[in-house]
Amino acid sequence: MKVQYKILVVDDEPIILFYIQDLLASVDDYIVETAESGEQALGILTAFKPDLILLDIQLPAMNGYEVCRKIKADNQYRFTKIIMISGHARVNERLMGYEAGADDYIGKPFDKEELLAKVRVFTQLKNREEVDQIKGDLLTLITHETRTPVSGIIGCAELLASDPTLSEEGKELAGLIAKSGQQLFQFMKNAVLLCKLKAGMELHFNPEPVSGMLANVINNLVEENVDRHIRISTDFDDSIILLADWPLLINVFKFVIDNAFKFSPESGIITIKSWQTDGILSVTVQDEGEGLDPHMQEQIFDEFAIKDVAHHQKGQGISLAICRYILHYHHGSIQVAGNPGSGTTFVIKLPLPPIEGIGEHES
């Protein structure tokens, strides 16, 4: 079934209303309503629920800026797109429109193709944003609803695995159930974090020594992988202090170093280094694993689009995508290098604050 977008046109000139309505009627994707004043437009909103509003600035009684502000102040219209219309091409009018919450601007007289193009782009954008929100909400709901039963499965499996009366094969199977449950639980947590990152998060920055944070991550992962006898070689600059949202950023180091553990051979070596050059922190994580095809070096950071089945099998489906989002929030970057059979090296870069300004940014 074809989607039909609802468009509300607000202008006090009947000829303009007729022209736009007639133009949009030529495209069967749109259902159009009109209003000749701001008050009338606000009255139509609740019942009509437009996807897009074409809003004239020069309206009687209540101008377009006021109407725009009232609409944007109502959370139920947070996805509704507003294009301001004006008979003047003044920069200050555009700026005032953007400040009021408008998404775009078009001047009179209209170019027919430009108007249709803007309408098409912004109705599709509104639909995409709503779908993304629904997906995020659904994923969060699923995660919360399944957390308790998954925790129950993990707990029971761990209890079975420690039962001295159970056979060795039974203990092994119970351990496998517990491990699989933990992987599922971690994936759900990662999926919710990814949704939050995409929706926008407020960061709280504090200074911490990078070497200490890396050491904590390494110690925890070594303990989790003690039976694999993987050796860690480190070379840290202990003087580096990084201003970051550490509860968030620490996930980057966890995911990247955990990735090295997952793909390292038995008794392999993981080399982790940190240093600073020209105000930039660099952290490298190198493993002796199976390496990576050059064509995969960008794709592994794509959410849900990874074609490397091996990464999915080892639980890396979205964790590296999360790393890129978190680093973007911190104005940093992540890259990967390596060829099949020669291991993989991840390179993380982050800007360092001036030493004298660190204390001023604590939250």
Question: Mind listing the pLDDT tens digit for each residue in 55-108?
Answer: 999 898 899 999 999 999 998 888 899 999 887 767 888 888 889 999 998 888
Same-domain pairing of 213 and 193: no
Angle made by CA atoms 55, 60, 64, in degrees to the nearest 5: 30
Same-domain pairing of 69 and 158: no
* Listed residues 164, 199, 234: the one ending a domain: 199
Report the DSSP pairing between strands 241-244 and 206-209: antiparallel
- Determine the pLDDT at residue 316: 52
Instruction: Measure the CA–CA gap between 282 and 273, rounded to whole angstroms.
Output: 8
Same-domain pairing of 243 and 327: yes
Same-domain pairing of 241 and 353: yes
Output phi, psi for 317, to 5 deg. -55, -45
Same-domain pairing of 195 and 280: no
- Determine the pLDDT at residue 217: 96
Same-domain pairing of 217 and 332: yes
Question: Mind listing the pLDDT tens digit for each residue in 246-270?
Answer: 999 999 999 999 999 999 999 899 9
* Listed residues 168, 199, 230: the one ending a domain: 199
Same-domain pairing of 174 and 275: no
> At what angle are helices 210-224 and 246-263 packed, to 10 degrees?
40
- Determine the pLDDT at residue 292: 79
The answer to whether residue 24 is domain-embedded is yes
Same-domain pairing of 250 and 341: yes
Angle made by CA atoms 306, 308, 309, in degrees to the nearest 5: 105
The answer to whether residue 224 is domain-embedded is yes
> Tokens 């925890």 label which residue?
220
CATH assignment of the domain containing 301? 3.30.565.10
- Determine the pLDDT at residue 72: 92
- Find the domain containing 155 and state its range: 132-199
* Tokens standing for residue 25: 């009627």
Total Cβ atoms within 10 A of residue 71: 24
The answer to whether residue 125 is domain-embedded is no
Instruction: Measure the CA–CA gap between 165 and 68, rounded to whole angstroms.
Output: 71
Same-domain pairing of 91 and 72: yes
The answer to whether residue 121 is domain-embedded is no
The answer to whether residue 117 is domain-embedded is no
Task: Work out how many domains the chain is built from and give that number.
Answer: 3
The answer to whether residue 126 is domain-embedded is no
**Region of residue 343 (phi > 0: left; psi between -120 and 50: alpha; otherwise: beta):** left
- Does the global pTM surpass 0.85? no
**The 3-state secondary structure of the chain, one letter per residue:** CCCCEEEEEECCCHHHHHHHHHHHHCCCCEEEEEECCHHHHHHHHHHHCCCEEEEECCCCCCCHHHHHHHHHCCHHHCCCEEEEEECCCCHHHHHHHHHHCCCEEEECCCCHHHHHHHHHHHHHHHHHHHHHHHHHHHHHHHHHHHHHHHHHHHHHHHHHHCCCCCCHHHHHHHHHHHHHHHHHHHHHHHHHHHHHHHHCCCCCCEEEEHHHHHHHHHHHHHHHCHHHCCEEEEECCCCCEEEECHHHHHHHHHHHHHHHHHHCCCCCEEEEEEEEECCEEEEEEECCCCCCCHHHCCHHHCCCCCCCHHHHHCCCCCHHHHHHHHHHHCCCEEEEECCCCCCCEEEEEEECCCHHHCHHHCC
> Tokens 């980057």 label which residue?
252
The answer to whether residue 54 is domain-embedded is yes
pLDDT tens, per residue, the chain with 363 residues:
567 889 999 999 999 999 998 898 887 778 899 999 999 999 999 889 999 999 999 898 899 999 999 999 998 888 899 999 887 767 888 888 889 999 998 888 888 889 989 998 888 888 888 877 777 777 777 777 887 888 889 999 999 888 889 899 998 999 899 989 988 888 888 888 888 888 788 999 999 999 999 999 999 999 989 989 999 999 999 999 999 999 999 999 999 999 999 999 998 999 999 999 999 999 999 999 888 777 777 778 877 554 444 444 454 568 999 999 999 999 999 999 877 778 899 999 999 986 544 444 443
Instruction: Measure the CA–CA gap between 227 and 223, rounded to whole angstroms.
Output: 9
The answer to whether the beta carbons of residues 143 and 192 sit under 8 Å apart is: yes
* Listed residues 155, 171, 199: the one ending a domain: 199
What dihedral do alpha carbons 70, 74, 77, 82 form, nearest 10°? 20
Residue 37's Cβ-count burial label (10 Å; 0-12, 13-18, 19+) is middle
Total Cβ atoms within 10 A of residue 125: 15
